[in-house]
Structure 1
Amino acid sequence: MTNINQKITPVGFPHFHYINEDLYVENIPLKILSEKLDTPLYVYSRASIRESWNKYAKAIKDKNVLICYGMKANSNISIVKELGFLGAGFDIVSGGELKKVIAAGINTNKVVFSGVGKKSWEIKIALEYGIKCFNIESESELRKISKISNILNKNANISIRINPNVDANTHPYISTGLKENKFGIDIEESLALYKLASTLPNIKIVGIDCHIGSQITELAPYIDTINKIINFAKKLHKININIEHIDLGGGLGIKYHNNDKIFNIEELLVFFAAKLKENNLHNIQIILEPGRSLVGNSGILLSKVEYIKTTLTKNFAIIDAAMNDIMRPALYQAYHGILPVYNKNNNKQYYDIVGPVCESADWIAKNRLLSSLKEGDLIAIESAGAYCMTMASNYNSRPKAAEIIVDKDKYYIIRQRESIEEIIQKELLIPIE
């Protein structure tokens, strides 16, 4: 909860900040953006994205590490282009994401293709564009990729996603490294699949892949995973399967509260590199797939209060953003900070911040102590750079919001606001007889 008598500090980077009582993104007041572009509106800071990238760039300096941005966090092609320009590779989970990399003009030779259900057309386009690696999730997928590669007379570089049975201590919906999860191959069964892969035509084994979950804030699960994966790599070496890289996946957490604790990425990489050297595997490349930690705190969702509704037990602020714009609270009971765009510092009250969608799950924040709100006030929903627009929908026939990126005193529209007419145009009437 926010105590309005204390200084309000936006989560994450300093590029969302107050000047006097007005909330700015870089050099632009958010109230100006709302007047020009309406709400709800996703607003990203270019400086924040670059600052988060630079933290990774500093950590990987002089190390054999490739950072592949996890596109499912935010796949807008302008953000893809920006991160590609900075030097990122890409972790994709669909053919659509691959086509966005291509549309952004990025070389596909640093693309790794994850996901449990790759369709034939997705495999074909990935082979045609020469991606770095497929991360294999099942024997059936391995055989399908071999078959398609053989037909196309191309070789497929593959890693097998190992499920190390490590608890990432995160929400069960975003935990992916346990035996009961749908992802990967159990570490006890993986050796047999690698042996099979070594016999299949047009398959080249290049790595080991794993991913244990998302929004991980502790180093310990990664250390446990690294130890298991390195031991597995040594087993492969004994049967003459020598890998070129180990992909540790992504999942590194961000601050959603100012008092959240997250570990330093450099600690992880120093430990990983030391363990590889200790086991005479120092020529192996490390791949990381961060998504949220590159863009999560680079964005806010700007919204307007439409109504104030007071009951015997609650004050509701009904805003024009909803669960179709920001699904995480309904899906994960996730916390997002709420900032007043104009910090009046007047009488404070507790509010539930809710949207207009016809679902009780359509809430954004509960029991937040905020400066007294009135109809027409603007609020900024923090940490909306990741898993917000990519999870957006047209539920209740609501158009998707616009996205913009701010660069100092300029802004660029990177996704036009959808109209209701555009939604209707995609639907077809049947004849009435």
Structure 2
Amino acid sequence: MPMSNAFKERLFPDLEQIADHFGTPFHIYDEAGILETGRQLKEAFAGIDGFQEYYAVKALPNLKILELMKQLGFGFDCSSIAELIMARQVGAEPMEIMFTSNNTDQEEFDAALKDGGCILNLDDISLIDKVPNPFPELICFRYNPGPRRTGNIIIGNPVEAKYGVTHEQVIEAYRRARQRGAKRFGLHTMVASNERDYSYMVETARMLLEIAALVESELDIRFEFLNIGGGFGIPYRPEDKELDIRSMSREITELFNTFKREHGYAPRMVMESGRWMTGPHGVLVTRAINHKDTYRKYVGVDACMSSLMRPALYEAYHHIDILNGADRPHEVVDVVGSLCENNDKFAVQRELPRVEDGDLLVIHDTGAHGHAMGFQYNGRLRPQELLLRGDGRVELIRRAETLEDYFATQNFKADSFTPAK
């Protein structure tokens, strides 16, 4: 279910004290849960030589979280200059960073290739000629299967996706990269998001192995690694089934073993799970401050969708607990924030225990794509982030934004320009 009993047992007894000390709202993450999930992932894929997880930094871009990933021996999947900087700040080596960008500009290429470089994962065949010299020895391409594969409901139809080289371009992409000096090669794809049917991931691995065999037959290239992407789903709703990681890893391992028997070698398998690694191990804690009873009953809280926009953006479900409210009678309410947008709602027509002003609401599964997707519309500021350490300490790992932060970009040296006539 959405929030593990172990996480609740670590957090709920002390939550009122934590909220009194730090104030609300805040996201709080569970160190013990994150580390345990990482150990499970490594154990599941231990049968594939050289397996490597590159944590998707976009899911939860906080240095303290990235330190946990480094502790687990994971690398980092980055898609911006800021994410590259964070990965390097926690000590990631060049081959522990994969730069998977989209619509990449020269400043991003320069950042990716400095400080020893990284694994450059190109999104488009036209980018080959735009990579600065010297061209990296190791190069990877993101593959988009187009009509050969059906995307899942979250990520959509691959034909409509802006990402990746097409099936028809893939041979030429590697040929041209080799002509520019590449000698080592990887292959990547990302065709699902929040997918809980493990067989979809198995088919993704099968697809990449088939492309690897095709490129080998055409160009005599042997791939160093295949990156099956991320997209591992988590059960946001209590009735949702968990991803069967054991069955998935067993079947994918057998695919790689079969490839090795047939080709005399097997690439390493890597992935870029973000949501599955940290999503269930974070919650947004907010306090009820108002009630409104009009055409519906509304519970107003001191957070808004600048803290968690998934419900507004995707109509996503996030489970909610009312701390110390389980024994109260239930009522149907909308849980809303203060933003001047009618979709600023964490729950719509949700049956919850009766909420009283001052109650703490715990919104589950915000450990990925929660704080990271925040924004400042209406001048609403992004909240603080906390880390519940394994020894019970609670550490501030990002302070809340302030009005000074909000106005900082409007404080600058005067500059103006009058074009010549």
Shared fold by TM > 0.5? yes
Contact kept in structure 1, 2:128 and 2:176, CA below 8 Å: no
Contact kept in structure 1, 2:312 and 2:344, CA below 8 Å: yes
The Cα shift of 1:398 comes to 1.4
- How many residue pairs get aligned? The number is 406
Q: Deviations over 1:106-161 (max 9, x none)?
A: 3332111112122222222222233442111112222111xx1x2xx463421111
Q: Which residue of 2 is the match for residue 340 of structure 1? A: 322
Contact kept in structure 2, 1:68 and 1:112, CA below 8 Å: yes
Contact kept in structure 2, 1:338 and 1:380, CA below 8 Å: yes
Distance 1:285 1:131 in 2: 20
The Cα shift of 1:205 comes to 4.1
DSSP 3-state at the match of 1:275: helix
* Alignment pair present for 1:219 and 2:198: yes
Counting only pairs closer than 5 Å after superposition, residues 108-187 of structure 1 correspond to structure 2 as 108-145=94-131, 148=132, 150=133, 153=134, 155-165=136-146, 166-171=149-154, 174-175=155-156, 178-187=158-167
Contact kept in structure 1, 2:94 and 2:119, CA below 8 Å: no
Counting only pairs closer than 5 Å after superposition, residues 263-412 of structure 1 correspond to structure 2 as 263-279=243-259, 280-281=262-263, 282-312=265-295, 314-407=296-389, 408-412=391-395
Letter paired with 1:410: R
Distance 1:58 1:224 in 2: 21
The Cα shift of 1:421 comes to 2.2
The Cα shift of 1:243 comes to 1.0
Letter paired with 2:258: E
DSSP 3-state at the match of 2:365: coil
The Cα shift of 1:418 comes to 1.3
**Percent identity for Structure 1 against Structure 2:** 26
Q: Which residue of 2 is the match for residue 29 of structure 1? A: 14
Contact kept in structure 2, 1:137 and 1:161, CA below 8 Å: yes
Distance 1:123 1:267 in 2: 38
DSSP 3-state at the match of 1:15: helix
DSSP 3-state at the match of 1:413: strand
Cα 1:378–1:371 change in 2 (3 A) is same
Contact kept in structure 2, 1:12 and 1:258, CA below 8 Å: no
Q: Deviations over 1:155-205 (max 9, x none)?
A: 34211111123224232xx34x611110111223312222222212x4344
Q: Which residue of 2 is the match for residue 240 of structure 1? A: 220
Q: Deviations over 1:294-337 (max 9, x none)?
A: 0001110000111110113x110011111111010111110000
Distance 1:237 1:395 in 2: 50
Cα 1:133–1:427 change in 2 (3 A) is same
Cα 1:347–1:270 change in 2 (3 A) is closer
Letter paired with 2:195: I
Q: Deviations over 1:11-33 (max 9, x none)?
A: 24333325xxxxx517x521111
Distance 1:424 1:15 in 2: 41
Q: Which residue of 2 is the match for residue 40 of structure 1? A: 25
Q: Deviations over 1:43-79 (max 9, x none)?
A: 1111111111111021122422111111110010100
Q: Which residue of 1 is the match for residue 401 of structure 2? A: 418
Give the aligned CA root-mean-square deviation in angstroms.
1.9
Distance 1:267 1:367 in 2: 37
Contact kept in structure 1, 2:3 and 2:364, CA below 8 Å: no
* Alignment pair present for 1:209 and 2:188: yes
**Unmatched 5+ residue regions in structure 2?**
416-421
Cα 1:188–1:220 change in 2 (3 A) is farther
Distance 2:274 2:109 in 1: 23
The Cα shift of 1:270 comes to 2.4
Q: Which residue of 1 is the match for residue 418 of structure 2? A: none
